[in-house]
Amino acid sequence: MDQRDLGDDIEEILVTETQIKHRLTELAADIDRDYEGKDLLVVGVLKGAVMVMADLARALHSHVRMDWMAVSSYGSGTKSSGVVRILKDLDTDLKDQHVLIVEDIIDSGLTLSWLLSNLKSRGAASVEICTMLRKPEALKVDIDVRYVGFDVPNKFVVGYGLDYAEKYRNVPFVATLAPHVYS
Ligand code: IMP
Ligand code: MG
């Protein structure tokens, strides 16, 4: 999709396709360097992290293994419930593994903070986080995020994996929606 396909649904583009691509190359270089000589398992959080995983993994120069988890903390609305449920668990045993959780966005941080302690409790050698977007003003818990693509304002955003009621995930940039979309 591009901007023309979206008519007047888009209010403002916050991160462009070019900015995302450029930033992912930088993050991939950091990750290649930080995990040199180690086996890395990247864990994508479905469904939002599909785009970041696909692009980040291809920007890496190292071999990595990929696994996926699906958790739910949001319904089809725009507010965090704080309640996390595993919808799909990993296929991989994490014992002694170096794990990098790949996320689309950290909003309240409640989902990730829960996920972090869940994965750590499985005996991983290390668990770090890489997120494409972060809303610093929305953070409710203190979590250490090693790799951040972009900080964005405390607004509901869509695109690049992020949805509103399952729409807009395949928009290649990150944007806010016009008010009429919500009504
Ligand atoms: P958190 O638990 O509040 O950090 O949010 C967790 C999940 O909510 C994210 O991984 C997203 O899937 C979803 N989410 C949070 N903010 C947004 C947004 O602005 N747009 C779309 N989804 C969001
Ligand atoms: Mg998510």
Q: Where are the domains of the chain?
A: 18-73+81-153
CATH architecture for segment(s) 18-73+81-153 = 3-Layer(aba) Sandwich (3.40)
| pLDDT value, residue 84 | 85
Render pLDDT for 130-183 as a digit per residue (tens, 0 to 9).
999 999 888 888 899 999 999 999 999 999 999 999 999 999 999 999 999 998
SS (HEC) of 123-180: CCCEEEEEEEEECHHHCCCCCCCCEEEEECCCCCEEECCECECCECCCCCCEEEECHH
| pLDDT confidence bin for 35, thresholds 50/70/90 | very high
Residue nearest to atom 5 of ligand 1 (CA): 107
Q: pLDDT digits over 63-90, tens only?
A: 999 999 999 875 555 566 667 889 999 9
Which residue, judged by its Cα, is nearest atom 10 of ligand 1?
A: 105
* Model pLDDT, residue 4: 94
pTM for the whole thing?
0.93
Separation CA 138–CA 33 (nearest Å): 30
Give the per-residue pLDDT at 81.
62
155 Cα nearest atom in ligand 1:
19
The answer to whether the CB of 81 is under 6 A from ligand 1 is no
Residue-wise pLDDT for 95-134, tens only, equals 999 999 999 999 989 889 999 999 999 999 999 999 999 9
Q: In this predicted structure, what is the pLDDT of residue 183?
A: 87
pLDDT for residue 80: 61
Instruction: Tell me what pLDDT residue 28 has.
Output: 98
How far out from the chain centre does Cα 17 lie?
16
Catalytic residues: 107
